[in-house]
């Protein structure tokens, strides 16, 4: 497991990573996700705003790997739940966490693990495998988010999809492509600096 976790970009940049550095990275990426959540555009007719969170989640999973990436998401969600203004638009609290967007929070955790797993297996090194990995992460977030909206807010699956996924497809595709270019580009720079 340790050898696989060494395949992620943060391990390549910090090859002699100790536990304290991993903890600092987990905390730092939790703060990064909180910062991306502050980029918020409300949409009419849906409790789900456009945010930068998805990009933050995808990059966190890719940069840290499955275990540390998931840990970072759990920390982010926990800090927001206890009252720090970390959720979209500076919101926080248990009620906000377990409200209409709860499924997206669960999807964030699963997506970070999956994208981290892809990175540990070197799928973030080239664009042709990185972009599909990030798209898979976005689809996971949709599955949990739309599912929860259907159970709690909207009366049918079609409405949950049209309000909880359709308005975000273009933006999330752009985020996945951006992440799919950023990670291979970063790997290229790291490999070049080693040569």
Please give the full DSSP string across 140-171, using - where no structure is assigned. HHHHHHHHHHHHHT-SSHHHHHHHHTGGGHHH
Backbone torsions φ then ψ of 51, nearest 5 degrees: -140, 175
Encode pLDDT of 73-89 as tens digits: 999 999 999 999 999 99
Domain ranges of the chain: 2-194
CB-based contact 184:191 (threshold 8 Å) = no
Encode pLDDT of 1-47 as tens digits: 444 567 899 988 887 667 888 899 999 999 999 999 999 999 999 99
CB atoms within 10 A of CB 7: 16
Q: Which residues pair with 87 in a beta bridge?
A: 91
Predicted structure pTM score: 0.93
Encode pLDDT of 93-114 as tens digits: 999 999 999 999 999 999 999 9
Q: Which CATH architecture has domain 2-194?
A: Orthogonal Bundle (1.10)
């Amino acid at each position: 497991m340790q050898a696989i976790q060494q395949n992620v970009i943060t391990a390549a940049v910090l090859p002699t990573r100790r536990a304290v550095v991993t903890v600092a990275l987990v905390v730092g990426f939790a703060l990064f996700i909180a910062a991306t959540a502050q980029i918020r555009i409300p949409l009419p007719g849906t409790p789900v705003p456009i945010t930068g969170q998805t990009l933050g989640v995808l990059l966190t999973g890719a940069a840290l790997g499955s275990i540390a990436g998931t840990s970072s998401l759990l920390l982010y969600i926990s800090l927001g739940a206890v009252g720090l203004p970390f959720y979209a638009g500076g919101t926080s609290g248990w009620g906000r966490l377990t409200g209409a967007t709860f499924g997206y929070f669960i999807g964030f955790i699963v997506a970070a693990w999956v994208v981290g797993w892809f990175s540990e297996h070197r799928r973030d090194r080239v664009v042709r495998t990185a972009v599909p990995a990030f798209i898979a992460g976005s689809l996971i977030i949709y599955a949990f988010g739309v599912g929860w909206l259907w159970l709690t807010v909207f009366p049918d699956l079609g409405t949950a999809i049209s309000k909880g996924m359709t308005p975000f497809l273009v933006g999330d595709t752009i985020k996945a492509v951006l992440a799919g270019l950023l990670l291979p580009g970063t790997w290229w720079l790291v490999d070049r600096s080693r040569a």
